[in-house]
Chain A
Amino acid sequence: MSAAQPVPRIGLTWLLVAQVLVILPHLPHLPLWIVGLWLGCAAWRLQIFLMRAEFPSAWVKLGLMLAVLGGVFLSRGSLVGMEAATVLLVAAFIIKLVELRTKRDALVLILLGFFTVVTGYLFDDGILAALYSLLPVTVLLAALIGLQQSTFAARPWATLRLAASLLLQALPLMVLLFVFFPRMGPLWALPLPGDKSITGLADSMAPADIAELSRSPELAFRVSFDGTPPPRSQLYWRALTLDRFDGRRWSQAEIVAFAPPPRWQARGRSLDYEVIMQPSAQRWLFALDVATTDLPDTRLLGDFRLQRARPVQRPLRYRVTSWPEALREPQASPLLLRRALQLPAQGDPRSRAWAAELRAQYGQPDELVRALLKHFREQPFRYTLRPPTLGADSIDGFLFDTRSGFCAHYAGAMVFVLRAAGVPARVVAGYQGGEWNAGGGYLQVRQFDAHAWVEYWQPERGWTSVDPTFQVAPERIELGLEEALGEERSFLEDSPLSLLRYRQIDWLNRLRLSWDELNYDWQRWVLGYQGERQLEVLEGWFGRIHGRDLALALVGGGALLLGALALWLFKPWRRTRDGCLRQFQRFERLLARHGVHRAPGEGARSFAERACEVLPDQADAIRAFVAAYEVQRYGGQPAAPGELRRRLRRVRRSLPWLLG
Chain B
Amino acid sequence: MSNPLDACLHAVNQVLLGKEAQVRLAMTCLLARGHLLIEDLPGMGKTTLGHALARVLGLSFQRIQFTSDLLPGDILGTSVFDKESGQFVFHPGPIFAELVLADEINRATPKSQSALLEAMEEGQVTIEGATRPLPKPFFVIATQNPASQGGTFALPESQLDRFLMRLSLGYPAKAAEKALLLGEARRELLPRLEPILDHERLAALQAQVPQVRASDALVEYVLRLVEATRSQPQFAWGLSPRASLALLAAARAWAFLAGRDYVIPEDVQAVLPAVVGHRLRERADPAGHGGGALVQWLLREVPAL
Contact = CB atoms under 8 A, between A and B. Distances in A.
B305 A581 contact: yes
Given A603-B265, A603-B269, A605-B264, A635 B304 contact: no
B29 interface: no
A636 B302 contact: no
B53 interface: no
B266 A599 contact: no
Given A581-B305, A634-B213, A636-B213, A603 B298 contact: no
A601 B298 CA distance: 8
Contact of A635 (B262, B266, B300): B262
Nearest to B218: A634
A605 B218 CA distance: 14
A584 interface: yes
A132 B265 CA distance: 57
A630 B305 contact: no
B215 A635 contact: yes
Contacts of B298: 601
Interface string A569-596: 0000000000001001000000000000
B261 interface: yes
Contacts of A602: 304
A601 B303 contact: yes
B301 interface: yes
Contacts, number: 52
B305 A599 contact: no
B264 A604 contact: yes
Contacts of A604: 264-265, 304-305
Interface in B141-155: none
B305 A634 contact: no
Given A584-B305, A634-B263, A601 B217 contact: no
Contacts of A633: 215, 217
Interface residues of B, number: 19
A36 interface: no
A635 B261 CA distance: 7
A578 to B, nearest CB: 8
A606 interface: yes
Contacts of A581: 217, 305
A630 B264 contact: yes
A603 B300 contact: no
A605 B266 contact: yes
B294 interface: no
A519 to B, nearest CB: 56
Given A584-B305, A634-B218, A636-B215, A599 B300 contact: yes
Interface in B254-305: 261-266, 269, 298-305
Interface in B189-219: 213, 215, 217-218
Contacts of B305: 581, 584, 603-604
A602 B213 CA distance: 21
Given A604-B264, A634-B218, A635-B215, 9 more contacts: A600-B302, A601-B298, A601-B301, A601-B303, A601-B304, A603-B265, A604-B304, A604-B305, A630-B264
Interface of B: 213, 215, 217-218, 261-266, 269, 298-305
In the A-B complex, the 5 residue pairs with the closest CB atoms? A603-B265, A635-B262, A603-B304, A603-B266, A634-B215
